Structure 1
Amino acid sequence: MTVLCGMALGALPLSSFARAPVSRELVAVGTHNVGIFERRPNGEFSGLGVELVRLLAHRHGYQARFEIYPWRRAMEVVSGGKADILVGAYKSVERQRILRFGEQAFLQDELAFYVRADSMPVWDGDYSLLKGRRVAVINGWLYGQAFDKALPQLRASVTNSVENGLQMLAHGHVELFATNRRDTDPVLAALGLQDRLMALAPLIDVQDGYFAYPLSSRLRDVPAHFDQLLVEMKRNGALQKLARRYGVTIP
C-alpha cells in the first residue's frame, strides 16, 4: 500500500476496519485518467480513484484488482457485469440506463475547447458561432447537454486519446478539440505544445465524476459502502488532502 493510501487510512476511524469479512475480489476498471486512474511503467496503478478503491477494499475485506481500457470499452465491461466498479464516470440520463451511479461525486472537471493560438475562432458560449467547424471529440466522453444538442451542427471527428486529439489540432486536421483540462494540460506540456495550443474561454461545461456500477451487481452493498466512505472522508478532510496530492479538484 502506498504512503498516500496510508495517510488517508489514518484519517479514518480505526473502528471502521474492525470487523472486515474474508477477502473477496473487487474489480475496478477505468481508462487512463490523469490523477484519477493511471498505470505506471512498472504495472502498478495509482491515482485518487485507485486509492479510494483500495480504501474501500481494505475496509470491507476485498482484494482490489484494476484493469485499464479505452473509455467506451471500460463502460461496456462494467455495464456487462464483467467488473464491479467504473472509476471516474460523468453522469447522464443515457448512462444511467446502463449503469448505477453512486450518490457522492469525488472529482470535478472543467471541459473546454482547445484551439491553435494563431487561429482562435470566436466563441462566447454560443454554438451557432461554431457551426460547420471541425471539432475533435474523444470516443465515449460526455460533454454536457448543450454540447450534445449542438453537435449535429459541427463537423466532428472521433479520437480515442487526448494525445491524438492534440496532435490532430496541432497539425490542422481539426479547428477545435473538446476535452477536459485536468487530462489535457499535462499532455500538452509533455508534447511541448503549450505555446501553440491553448484552452478557449468560456468553458464548455463543468462535470462531476462518480464511481459507477453494474445495474445488477454481484456485490450489492458496494455502492452504499462507497458513498458512506466518501461522506466520511469529505467530513474529516481526508478526501480533500488526498485530492490535493493528486492535483484533482473535488466538488
Structure 2
Amino acid sequence: MRSLIVLLVFLTFAEKAKADRYDIAVAHIPPYAMMRDTGPEGILVDIVNEAYGRLGHHVRFHFLPWPRAIRYVKLGKVDGIAPFIKSEERTKFVDFFEPALLDMELLFFRKSGSLISASTVEEAHPYHVAKVARVNLGTNFEKFESEELLQVDYVNKTLSGIKVLMNGRVALFASPKLIAEYAAANAGLHNMIEPAGEPFDSLKTFLAFSKNGKGQKIGEQVSQEIAKMHKNGRIEYLMRRYLSHMKF
C-alpha cells in the first residue's frame, strides 16, 4: 500500500513537471481581455486558458500596447498573440491555424431614435463617422478611410466614441459589435445607442504563435482544442457569461 502511495505521488509530480507555461500577448479590449484586481479575465482569456489547460499547460497573459505586443511576438519574447488578424506579412513571424479564435462582427452604431441607416461602408459615406484610432475595421472600411471617402473622427477609446455619438458630434460610430455594446452597458448607456443596420463586415481573429517562441511547437494542438470548443458550444457558453447582462 505504501509503495502504491509513493508511486502515485511520483506520477503526480512527474505530470506537473511536464506542464509548461506559455506567455501570450493581449491588449486591454473588454469584453475579450481585461485586467482586473483578481487577474486577467474576458472571453478571449477564458478560451485561451482552457485550450492550454486541456493540454496540461498554463498561460501567463501580458497586457501590452499593441505595437509592443507585435514586436515581442516577432522576437519570441512571448509565445503567442491574440486577437490577431491574418495577413501575408504576419505569416512571416507567426503561425496561424484554423479555426479562428473569434469572429468579430463590425457595426455602425447610431444615437437611439436616429433614422440613419448604414449596413455597408458605402451607406455610411454621407455621414460623419467616429472610430477608435488604429482599430482594424476591415479592408473595405480601410479603403474608404485611406481614400478619404469617409469623414472620420478618431477617438482614443470606445467609450469616447460612444460619447461623441451621443452628443451629436458624429452621426455614426464604427466599432466591433461586442466591444461597443459592452462599453455602453458598463457605462449605463445601453439605451442611448443602437445598431444602425446589419454588420458591415466581420474579422476573423486568431491566437497566433510566434515562430521564434516555444509556442510554435504546441500551436496546432492548442488550435485543435479551440476547434473542439467551437464544435461543442463551449466558446458560445463562455461568451454568454460576459454578455448576459447586456440589453442590446
Alignment pair present for 1:224 and 2:220? yes
**Cα offset for 1:122?**
4.8
Contact 1:37 1:87 survives alignment (8 Å): no
Provide TM-score, normalisation by structure 2.
Answer: 0.76
> Residue in 2 aligned with 1:130?
125
Gaps of 5+ in 2: 1-13
Contact 1:113 1:177 survives alignment (8 Å): yes
Query: Which of 74, 83, 99 in structure 2 is aligned with 1:79?
Result: 74
Gaps of 5+ in 1: 1-17
Distance 1:177 1:94, change over 3 A: farther
Between Structure 1 and Structure 2, whose CA radius of gyration is higher?
A: 2
Deviation digits for residues 115-142 of structure 1 (CA, Å, limit 9, x no counterpart):
22355545352616514x4322223322
* Aligned equivalents of 1:168, 1:94: Cα separation in 2: 35
Query: Which of 32, 39, 45 in structure 2 is aligned with 1:44?
Result: 39
Contact 2:119 2:200 survives alignment (8 Å): no
* Aligned equivalents of 2:232, 2:198: Cα separation in 1: 34
Query: Which of 182, 186, 189 in structure 2 is aligned with 1:190?
Result: 186
Matches within 5 A, 1:97-112: 99-112=94-107
State the percentage of identical aligned residues.
Answer: 25
Distance 1:195 1:245, change over 3 A: closer
**Cα offset for 1:113?**
0.9
RMSD after superposition: 3.0
Contact 1:72 1:140 survives alignment (8 Å): no
What code does the residue aligned with 1:142 have? N
> Residue in 2 aligned with 1:10?
none
Provide TM-score, normalisation by structure 1.
Answer: 0.75
Distance 1:244 1:106, change over 3 A: farther
* Aligned equivalents of 2:53, 2:132: Cα separation in 1: 34
> Residue in 2 aligned with 1:150?
144
* Aligned equivalents of 2:134, 2:103: Cα separation in 1: 18
Contact 1:23 1:62 survives alignment (8 Å): yes
Distance 1:192 1:50, change over 3 A: closer
The number of residues matched between the two structures is 229
**Cα offset for 1:36?**
2.6
Contact 1:36 1:246 survives alignment (8 Å): no
Contact 1:21 1:61 survives alignment (8 Å): no
